[in-house]
Amino acid sequence: MALQIRNLHKSFDGQVALERIDLDVGSSEFVCLLGPSGCGKTTLLRIIAGLMAADGGSISLQGRDLAGLPARDRGFGIVFQSYSLFPHMTVADNVGYGLRIRGQGGTAITQRVNELLAMVKLQAFGQRYPGELSGGQQQRVAIARALAVNPSLLLLDEPLSALDARVRADLRRELREVQRSLGIPTLMVTHDQEEAMQMADTIVCMNQGRIEQQGAPQALYEAPRTRFVADFMGHSNLLPPAQAQRLLPQLPPLPEGLAAEQALLCLRPERVRLQPEAPAGALQAMVTDIGFLGSIQRVRARWQDIELLAEASSTLPLALGQTVPLHIAAADGRWVKA
């Protein structure tokens, strides 16, 4: 493991912000810290960066304990949400800044800066000033500047959240490509579940200063262990056991240690399928709402007193009030802790 965090904790005026955090990041792994506002993501990132002290616990990189090492000596690349470029310096000087303060000079810097600008697709912009660039371009410069010093760890604090949707989507892909090609261990803070799913090798889902669950995006989506993770990782139907039993006569067994009173069956909408041709014995549900999402329709359908979020192909003609057969396989549900 490149980065190892053990039993890290931090309180502000007696209020716990981080509670016993254990976290590993592999040598070229892209890890997203995902969670709602106030769950401790930024505090964790700032402690790793050396910008804030923890109350206890340890952080090591490649086996080296970082305790007491000031931020500037950690050799990490950091990108914040606000572009934080030097406004009076050209793009090229911004990117080369870290190299200059490390004592490099002349053609070595020019060559490296050109390489980095090419990597973030800004070859032609070296002589501009930050104020003459779009938000997306400024953030590309900030990424190039963070990478200039060959960082041993890349820390990204919501780097894309100030950008509009289209630019954000492009930059997600580009940032991931650059990170992959350089193989730098990376931690990115985000509260955007889609962004985390799209970019991360591993998502660390945080709630109230604790890691609620971590794993590959698909594992967290398909097998959340708690209601919090199920809710945070996309849409779901969450049914108490009595309702679940009526809907699905054959339920998956409850996981060990989870009592029925604490359990909810999580059914993702794509597992609740509206089908034009009814298999024998299919449930008949009434369509109460239709959302057209382009490739699919997200539908609310009511069966008895149970309202379900379902999906249908966008080519299936549907109307409000219509009765449609529903298909759910017994294996499609997952028990989560309420």
Please list the residues that pair with 5 across neighbouring strands.
Answer: 23, 59
How many other C-beta atoms can be found within 10 angstroms of the C-beta atom of residue 156?
A: 26
Please report how close the Cβ of residue 18 comes to ligand ATP at its closest, in angstroms. Answer: 8
The verdict on 292 binding ligand ATP (CB under 6 A) reads no
Contact between 43 and ligand ATP per CB under 6 A: yes
Return the bridge partners of 18, or none.
Answer: 10
DSSP letter for each residue of 122-180: -GGGTTS-GGGS-HHHHHHHHHHHHHTT--SSEEEESTTTTS-HHHHHHHHHHHHHHHH
Which member of 21, 40, 125, 184 binds ligand ATP (CB under 6 A)? 40
Judge contact between 137 and 172, C-beta under 8 A.
no
Q: Are 69 and 121 in contact (CB under 8 A)?
A: no
- Choose between 12 and 86: whose C-beta lies nearer to ligand ATP: 12
User: Nearest approach, Cβ of 12 to ligand ATP (angstroms)?
Assistant: 3
Position 12 contacts ligand ATP (CB under 6 A): yes
Under the binding rule (CB under 6 A), the answer on residue 38 touching ligand ATP is: yes
- Pick the piece of the chain touching ligand ATP (CB under 6 A) from 30-38, 238-246, 249-257, 281-289: 30-38
CB of 37 to ligand ATP, least distance (A): 3
Is residue 190 involved in binding ligand ATP (CB under 6 A)?
Answer: no
CA nearest to 116, candidates 136, 146, 88: 146
Q: Nearest-CA neighbor of 62 among 41, 78, 76?
A: 76
Q: Least distance from C-beta 160 to ligand ATP, angstroms?
A: 14
Size of the site for ligand ATP (CB under 6 A): 11
Chain residue at closest Cβ approach to ligand ATP: 42
Residue 132 burial (CB count, 10 A): 12
Which CB atom, from 45 or from 326, has the smaller least distance to ligand ATP? 45
Among 191, 225, 273, 334, binds ligand ATP (CB under 6 A): 191
CA distance 121 to 30: 21
Using the minimum distance from each CB to ligand ATP, give the nearer residue, 16 or 167.
16
Question: Least separation, in Å, of the C-beta of 188 and ligand ATP?
Answer: 12
Minimum distance of ligand ATP from residue 155's CB (angstroms): 13
d(CA 93, CA 86): 9
Residue type, 257: G
Select the residue interacting with ligand ATP from 29, 42, 116, 196 (CB under 6 A).
42
The single residue among 2, 8, 21, 35 that binds ligand ATP, judged by CB under 6 A, is 35
Rounded Cα gap, residues 202 and 276, in angstroms: 38
307 vs 193: CA distance, rounded Å: 24
| Other beta carbons within 10 Å of 123 | 11
Question: Could you say which DSSP state residue 226 is in?
Answer: B
Q: What x/- string results for residues 147 through 186 when contact with ligand ATP is judged by CB under 6 A? A: ----------------------------------------
Block residue for tokens 């970082």 = 66
We find the least distance from the C-beta atom of residue 39 to ligand ATP, in angstroms, to be 4
Contact call for residue 41 and ligand ATP (CB under 6 A): yes
Decide whether 41 or 334 has the Cβ nearer to ligand ATP: 41
Hunting for tokens 């980095």 — which residue is that? 116
Give the residues lining the site for ligand ATP (CB under 6 A).
12, 17, 35, 37-43, 191
